[in-house]
Amino acid sequence: MKTFEFGQDKTKLSSIVLGLMRIKNLSPSQVEELIETALSVGINTFDLADIYGGGRSEEILGQILKNRPDLREQMWIQSKCGIRIEEFTYFDFSKEHILNSVEGILQRLHIDQLDSLLLHRPDVLMEPEEVAEAFDHLEKTGKVRHFGVSNQNPMMIELLKTAVSQPLMINQLQLSAAFAPEFDAGFHVNMEKNISNSGTTSIFEYARANDMVIQAWSVLQHGYFQGVFIGDQTFEKLNQVLNRLAQQYQTTPSAIAIAWVLRYPTNMQAIIGTTQPQRILEAAQASEITLSRKEWYEIYLAAGKTLP
């Protein structure tokens, strides 16, 4: 498993992360098997959010950690807050909400400290000073070791930095061979037909320039949770290329698709969301594959994209 050094203590984080968004209907023993499988292939980073399964994802992991404190030492545990699902969904980066969320996360997980906390989705009404007060408190009390964001553009991060003193070390962003609006926009800079459907640009370059780890989510999905593109006939050409490269590298098409994400040249983590141990083993193979430039661009084009 490829790793990179993170933070001042240079913790080695795995290039593949196991995301626990989809585990709410699994039993604790099934989730324990998933975690054991991940650890067995060197995956040491685990991603959660307070809203996953309405808190159930964290509760299940908490039950496991209560009985298996030995696992905690091997795991980098990350969670996210800032999305409120009530009568409707909205976003809340207030100090009170961040602090209450972290209390809930730690209680559900039966742990004293999170390795990293991310702000889940931008809250346009955020006051950077309030976020700073919340982060200062969480850092001083030892409840959170590292901080980051998710789905934020460069100016949002700059705005946070006007008050927050802790380094924002991670940005978690959606990226897959079939979902790359940031790259699409980047390729078409200075072109007559400007392709920019996300309204944001340079998130990836900003992360690189500022030493932020990029954690890619939904690495096998197209659209916004529209499904897995592996084996989907709508993505016939993409699957043809993935299948051919899978044969060439003696691996699976999903491992090639994940290797495509990991080829982006920075401290990159691909978050996989499978609930099946076998698929964790397959995904882990991606970490060992470095696609050539030509292969990377071939996959990009096979997904129906264009280049100038």
Ligand X SMILES: NC(=O)c1ccc[n+]([C@@H]2O[C@H](COP(=O)([O-])OP(=O)(O)OC[C@H]3O[C@@H](n4cnc5c(N)ncnc54)[C@H](OP(=O)(O)O)[C@@H]3O)[C@@H](O)[C@H]2O)c1
Query: Which stretch in 69-77, 125-133, 220-228, 293-301 sits in contact with ligand X by CB under 6 A?
Result: 220-228
Tokens of 188: 């078409």
Task: Let me know if 52 is a catalytic residue.
Answer: yes
How many other C-beta atoms can be found within 10 angstroms of the C-beta atom of residue 244? Answer: 15
Closer CB to ligand X, residue 134 or residue 258?
258
Q: Rule CB under 6 A: is residue 179 a binding residue for ligand X?
A: no
Residue 45 makes contact with ligand X by CB under 6 A: no
Residues 30, 59: contact at Cβ < 8 Å?
no
Using CA atoms, how far apart are residues 71 and 18, in angstroms rounded to an integer?
Answer: 14
Binding ligand X by CB under 6 A: which of 79, 101, 254, 267?
254
Distance CA 108, CA 221 (A): 29
Q: Which of 181, 275, 277, 298 binds ligand X (CB under 6 A)?
A: 275
Four-CA torsion 283, 285, 286, 290, nearest 10 degrees: 180
With CB under 6 A as the contact rule, the residue among 15, 101, 218, 269 that binds ligand X is: 218
Instruction: Measure CA of the first residue to CA of the last residue in the chain; give whole Å.
Output: 35
**Residue from the set 60, 111, 131, 219 that interacts with ligand X by CB under 6 A:** 219
Could you say which residues in the range 104-123 bind ligand X, by CB under 6 A? none
**Strands 114-119 and 144-150, sheet pairing:** parallel
Residue 86 per-residue DSSP state: S
Q: Does 21 bind ligand X (CB under 6 A)?
A: yes
CA-to-CA distance for 111 and 108, rounded, in angstroms? 8
CA nearest neighbour of 245 among 195, 203, 290: 290
Closest CA to 303 of 187, 158, 151: 187
Task: By CB under 6 A, tell whether 287 contacts ligand X.
Answer: no
Among 26, 149, 272, 289, binds ligand X (CB under 6 A): 272
Q: Provide the sign of the torsion angle of the four alpha carbons 94, 95, 100, 106, taken in this order.
A: positive
For residues 130-149, which are near ligand X according to CB under 6 A? none
Among candidate residues 52, 206, 264, 300, the one labeled active-site is: 52
Q: Which stretch binds ligand X (CB under 6 A): 20-28, 66-74, 189-197, 298-306?
A: 20-28
Residue 90 β-bridge partners: 84
Minimal distance, residue 221 CB to ligand X, in Å: 4
For ligand X, which is the closer residue by CB, 165 or 226? Answer: 226
- Does the footprint of ligand X cover residue 82 (CB under 6 A)? no
Query: Which residues are known to be catalytic?
Result: 52
Contacts to ligand X by CB under 6 A: 19-22, 47, 150-151, 172, 217-221, 228, 230-231, 254, 271-276, 279
